[in-house]
Amino acid sequence: MVIRPAAADEGIVFIRGDLGGNNRVKADVRNVRDTTLATTLGLNGVTVSTVEHLMSAFRGMGVDNAVVEVDAPEIPIMDGSARPFVNLFREAGTHVQGKGRKLLVIEKEISVSDGEGMAMFLPSPDFRITYKIEFGHPFIGVQQYHLKFSDVSYEEEICSARTFGFLKDVEYLQAKGLALGGSLKNAVVLDDHRIINKEGLRCPDEFVKHKILDAIGDLSLLGIPIIGHFVACKSGHRLNNLLLKELMVRRECWTIAGGFGGELSDEAASRPISSFQAPASIQASIPVI
């Protein structure tokens, strides 16, 4: 995988270098094709799977525009977290592009549920996440974590949390041709009773923190930072995606602010950007890695 700079307003674009013809897929909620144990993007028959960790790192480090060239149908899993990507971004640095970043501001509650889990947006002066998980596994049980999002809190609290799963899920993914490089070096793996990894966890709440990592990546597919409180219980890629789709049709529940000269609604225009306590309001790209 190679990550290259992109122009302002280009967003995150994936290019399948192993394919010819129209091999570009934009990171966009409308291009989500599958959410089974990972988020897969697709357009015109071209797919890129397991994009959530890289997308999470882009959002966590404030990168709005980049071109991702990959020579396979799946993003490299690295160590199962977003930390390797964050380290690469730190090493390369980011480039401020001088064009305003628009923000989507939640004004009214929006929620979705599948009977088992739920996810919602609530109004908030900044972007924050409250996430609760519940597994009938003796090593996980119930965990809850609250994050007030910033590049600092993302890097210090979230990006190192590794993906986790059960032996049966690994077998399922590999049967579909995914996670073929999966091992104890890039995931926390549990059997019916315990963690198989000899080194154990990186932190006691690594499970719920990784769910937050995933959610940040999934929500970034909206293509615009969200100012609101994301609350989830027993959610996952599917519900995260359904919430974004519900958000898109519930136009009365949000406004657009920012953009430095872009059109604003009357409500958004009356609210200064600084009041949102958002990440830097200028778009950024990343130099060549």
Q: Report which DSSP code applies to 176.
A: T
List the catalytic residue out of 53, 210, 229, 237. 237
Q: How far is CA 236 from CA 20, 154, 156, 228, in A?
A: 33, 19, 23, 19
Sheet with 118-122, strands from edge to edge, namely: 110-113, 118-122, 229-233, 128-135, 141-148
Provide the residue count of the chain: 289
Which helix (H) or strand (E) segment holds residue 217: the answer is: helix 206-219
- Residue 237 is among the residues annotated as catalytic for this protein: yes
- Which candidate, 38, 28, 43, places its Cα nearest to that of 75? 38
Q: Report which DSSP code applies to 195.
A: B
Instruction: Give the residue numbers annotated as catalytic, written as ranges.
Output: 237
